[in-house]
């Protein structure tokens, strides 16, 4: 009888142990499931919260490589003296036409030389011999000029009254700033009053 009771007690103890082991296994399984659920949730959250835009690391690396290649190309062209296609000027390009602006010539105010212009004109009446060796005639139609050849004929016009006179160069002068012709007194009297002394007149070399 006692053996039977002992056997029953041992069977009960084994059942309790077996149940405890099963409960422990269920707890471990449950814990593992919870851990897996947490890991899945964290992964899903990280995927949802991540930046949807593609990474720019590859693009930045590509841009850096392209810039480096362009710098190397420019350095090579500078060292070899070559010109890049963007800097080269096509040989077929037509030159830009220059614009010519037409302006009316201004009257010359030169105090020497030939041609024509405007300058100060005075007169003189003293002296015995001119620079070309002639006898000086104060009332003659002659004039002194610094550079024109002797016997050159000049038309001198007074713009204030329109009067003009043609004279022949036989002397040198005047040696005063602002004047280009010194008329004999008689020639000056035909275009202006002797009291004026000096006038601004137009001249034209005829010969």
Could you report how far apart the first and last alpha carbons of the chain are, in Å?
174
What is the model's pTM? 0.47
Q: Which fold has domain 116-205?
A: Barwin-like endoglucanases (2.40.40)
Q: Are 154 and 181 in contact (CB under 8 A)?
A: yes
- Every domain of the chain and the residues it spans: 11-40, 116-205
Residues facing 149 on adjacent strands: none
pLDDT in 10s for each residue of the chain, 207 residues: 555 555 555 555 566 555 666 666 676 667 777 778 777 766 665 655 544 444 445 555 556 666 766 666 665 555 545 444 444 444 444 554 444 433 433 434 444 445 899 999 999 999 999 999 999 999 999 999 999 999 999 999 999 999 999 999 999 999 999 999 999 999 999 999 999 999 999 999 997
Whether the ω angle into residue 174 lies within 30 degrees of 0, i.e. cis, is yes
């Amino acid at each position: 009888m006692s053996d039977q009771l002992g056997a029953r007690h041992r069977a009960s103890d084994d059942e309790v142990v077996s149940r405890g082991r099963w409960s422990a296994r269920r707890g471990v399984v449950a814990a593992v499931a919870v851990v897996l659920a947490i890991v899945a949730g964290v992964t899903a959250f990280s995927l949802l919260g991540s930046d949807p835009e593609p990474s720019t690391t590859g693009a930045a690396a590509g841009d850096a490589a392209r810039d480096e290649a362009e710098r190397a190309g420019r350095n090579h062209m500078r060292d070899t003296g070559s010109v890049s296609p963007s800097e080269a000027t096509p040989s077929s390009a037509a030159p830009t036409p220059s614009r010519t602006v037409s302006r009316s010539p201004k009257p010359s105010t030169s105090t020497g030389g030939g041609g024509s212009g405007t300058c100060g004109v005075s007169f003189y009446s003293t002296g015995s011999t001119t620079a070309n060796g002639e006898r000086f005639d104060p009332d003659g139609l002659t004039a002194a000029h610094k550079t024109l050849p002797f016997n050159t004929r000049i038309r001198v016009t007074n713009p204030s009254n329109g009067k003009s006179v043609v004279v022949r160069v036989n002397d040198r002068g005047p040696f005063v700033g602002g004047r280009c012709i010194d008329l004999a007194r008689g020639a000056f009297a035909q275009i202006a009053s002797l009291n004026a002394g000096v006038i601004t007149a137009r001249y034209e070399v005829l010969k």
